Structure 1
Amino acid sequence: MNSIDTHAHVFSAHDQFIATARYTPNYDAPVQSFISHLDKHNLTHGILIQPSFFGTNNDVMLKAIRQFPERLKGIAVVDTTATLEELSQLKEQGIVGIRLNLFGLPIPSLDTAEWKRFLTNLEILEWQIELHAPPEYLVSLLPLLNQYSLDIVIDHFGRVDSIPDITGSDYQEFLKLLNVDRHWIKISGFYRLGHSSENLEIAKKAYALLKEKGLISKLIWGSDWPHTQFESTISYELAFNALKKIVVDKQEQHMILSSNALKLFKF
């Protein structure tokens, strides 16, 4: 059975990064290393995510997909002014959606003419939209996205930041807004949730709440390799083993790694 790592990045320390990047890597994360990790863990496919430090220049990711077109697809970052033709060209190169990484940015105004045109183009292409944002942003954005027939993928458990925050109003409201027909949640980046002493427990509690919401068929896993800004403490092996600690049931592990992800990414 095919199985998928739905969240990884590739880059080189010598690549051209945007001037406004909040973080830039000083090491290489080549696609060959990612493929080696997939092979070692019996994963057949991977999804590359455009990192924020490249802005809207997706060339590094596109080059990596060209090297392994049968095994990789990508999620791009693009300007909202991108035309349907430009987006279609990306689709031909293995791109299946766009990412909004909103940390450090204001909440976008999705009700403007530009955004409406852009989101309609995503609908036409049958793309997904991936949201990396704190719960208070998600609470604002999810209702506005309901009018579009898009798969909405939410990164890293919805980025709840502490155990008390799980029961807080923003995360609870986020959970209420989730719809099993259109929302997908990544069981990924547990180490980005709160302090290191509690982040695995946060992930376990968040996972239990997502299951209670009936979303077991919409949960997918990503390694978040190469774990940018956490390189010294996290490895692919640790990220993969963490999944088994968060999701103890082997049938649920299989759904998350295989059937759920295959349905979303259509390999």
Structure 2
Amino acid sequence: MTEPAPAGWDCHVHVFAASAPVRDGHYRPVDRPLAQIEATAEAHGVRHLVLVQPSVYGSDNTLLLDALATEPGRHRGVVVVDDTVTDAELDAMHAAGVRGVRLNRVSPVGDGADPARRFDALAPRLRPRGWHLQWYTDAAQLPAIAALHRDSGVTCVLDHLAGFGLAVPDDHPAWRAAEALAAGGAWLKLSGWYRLGAQAPYAGLVPRIRRLAAWFGERMVWGSDWPHTTFAPEAMPPYAQGWQPVVDALGPGAARALRGRPPSIYR
């Protein structure tokens, strides 16, 4: 009898082509095609991926959309768009599997525009499509993000543990903002541990994961952040290393349930 295909979700990966033009002032990617991450993920019981547009490609989502088209319906995407994107382009992206827009407030070539202006421009276009807005931000910006999303009707997704690195004090106002966002229906990505001032096996982040998990509950997803662009191409960490902190924080059963549950934001 044939074993069923693995059905788990890795909700934060990137695909790269070394030949594609990139924005100056940031890293230079090597080839990291979709087939490579699919093979790696399937070996760990993960079949579905969420492809996130990396900052080096700006709003040129060609690689991401081409990757989604290789097996329509299997994966999902989160894109970067500029103010000139048309409704027809957004509708075509939705048909391809895109379910959100990313605002990168951290990377050197991220979105430097006023976040309130960008939010006001994007919100009326995201709401009717059921798309979310995914923020890559440091924790200090969470109070402003919470104010933008309050009563907006746009789902908020917070990248990389919402920026709660080891340097963020336990009494920082960002914690209250995160609790408010969670109460308003926001989602949290358990990912990017090495971006948070921690070293493998990331034990120092476990209490922070647990604190946030108490608020976000089932509105959490895990992402490997493959191919780990803060590491040299020849020194990528093992895929399972990014999963272990979730197991340590939530316990094996709850962690398995989280990774196996199809997230509603990617329907």
TM-score, shorter chain, exceeding 0.5 = yes
TM-score with structure 2 length normalisation?
Answer: 0.87
Gaps of 5+ in 2: 1-5
1:132 and 2:131 equivalent?
no
1:8 and 2:13 equivalent?
yes
TM-score with structure 1 length normalisation?
Answer: 0.87
Following the alignment from structure 1 to structure 2, what is the Cα–Cα distance between the partners of residues 165 and 94? 35
Give yes or no for contact 1:107–1:137 (8 Å, CA) kept in 2.
Answer: no
Following the alignment from structure 1 to structure 2, what is the Cα–Cα distance between the partners of residues 226 and 158? 20
1:80 and 2:83 equivalent?
yes
2:127 — aligned with what? 123
Which residue identity is paired with 1:225?
W
CA displacement at 1:229 relative to structure 2: 1.4
Identity of aligned residues (%): 24
1:65 to 65, 68, 72: 68
Give yes or no for contact 1:82–1:118 (8 Å, CA) kept in 2.
Answer: no
CA 242–265 in structure 1, closer or farther in 2 if over 3 Å, else same: same
CA displacement at 1:166 relative to structure 2: 4.0
Deviations 1:215-238 (A, max 9, x none): 221111001000111242522132
1:255 — aligned with what? 257
1:48 and 2:22 equivalent?
no
1:158 — aligned with what? 162
1:184 — aligned with what? 187
Deviations 1:38-86 (A, max 9, x none): 2101112110000000000000011111112232110000013423232
CA 71–166 in structure 1, closer or farther in 2 if over 3 Å, else same: farther
Following the alignment from structure 1 to structure 2, what is the Cα–Cα distance between the partners of residues 152 and 140? 12
1:264 — aligned with what? 265
Following the alignment from structure 1 to structure 2, what is the Cα–Cα distance between the partners of residues 254 and 196? 23
1:240 to 236, 239, 243: 243
CA displacement at 1:140 relative to structure 2: 0.9
CA displacement at 1:254 relative to structure 2: 2.6
Bigger drift between 95-104 and 75-84 goes to: 75-84
1:208 and 2:210 equivalent?
yes
Gaps of 5+ in 1: none
Give yes or no for contact 1:10–1:48 (8 Å, CA) kept in 2.
Answer: yes
2:40 to 31, 37, 41: 37
Following the alignment from structure 2 to structure 1, what is the Cα–Cα distance between the partners of residues 65 and 95? 10
Give yes or no for contact 1:48–1:72 (8 Å, CA) kept in 2.
Answer: yes
CA 201–134 in structure 1, closer or farther in 2 if over 3 Å, else same: same
CA displacement at 1:106 relative to structure 2: 4.7
CA displacement at 1:6 relative to structure 2: 0.3
